[in-house]
Amino acid sequence: MDKSGYLRGKPVHPHAIDGMTTIVELVDNAFLAYNAARLREACRLLTRKMLEPDVTVGVSITGALTPAGLGMSALIPLIGHGFIDWIVSTGANLYHDSHFAMGLNMHTGSPFLDDRELRKEGVIRIYDVLFDYDVLLSTDDFYRQIIQADEFQKEMSTSEFHHKIGRYMRERERLLGLGRVSLLAAAYEAGVPIYTSSPGDSSIGMNIARSVLDGNGLRIDIARDVNETAAIVLNAKRKGKSAVLILGGGSPKNFVLQTEPHIQEVLGIRDVGHDYFLQITDARPDTGGLSGATPSEAVSWGKIDPELLPDAVVCYTDVTIALPVMTAYAIASHPPRTLSRLYDQLESLYSQLSAEYSGHVPGKHT
List residues with catalytic annotation. 303
Closest listed residue to residue 172, CA positions, set 140, 146, 206, 204: 146
Q: Which residues of 155-167 are buried (b: 16+ CB within 10 A; e: fewer)?
A: ebbbbbbbbbbbb
Decide if 80 contacts 254 (C-beta within 8 A).
Answer: no
Alpha-helix runs per DSSP H in the chain: 23-30, 34-45, 70, 76-80, 91-101, 115-120, 133-146, 158-176, 183-190, 203-213, 222-239, 250-257, 259-261, 295-300, 319-333, 346-358
Q: Which residues contact 22 (CB under 8 A, 6 or more apart)?
A: 332
Q: How far apart are CA 232 and CA 85, in angstroms?
A: 10
Determine the 3-state secondary structure of 61 from DSSP.
strand
Residue 339 one-letter amino acid: L
Closest listed residue to residue 62, CA positions, set 319, 244, 284: 319
- The string of DSSP letters for 196-246 reads -SSTTSSHHHHHHHHHHHTT---EE-HHHHHHHHHHHHHHHHHHSEEEEEE
Backbone angles phi, psi at 118, to 5 degrees: -60, -40
What distances in angstroms separate CA 219 from CA 168, 206, 265, one per listed residue?
19, 12, 28
Residue 177 one-letter amino acid: G
User: Which H/E stretch holds residue 64?
Assistant: none
Strands 241-247 and 129-132: unpaired
Residue 54 one-letter amino acid: D
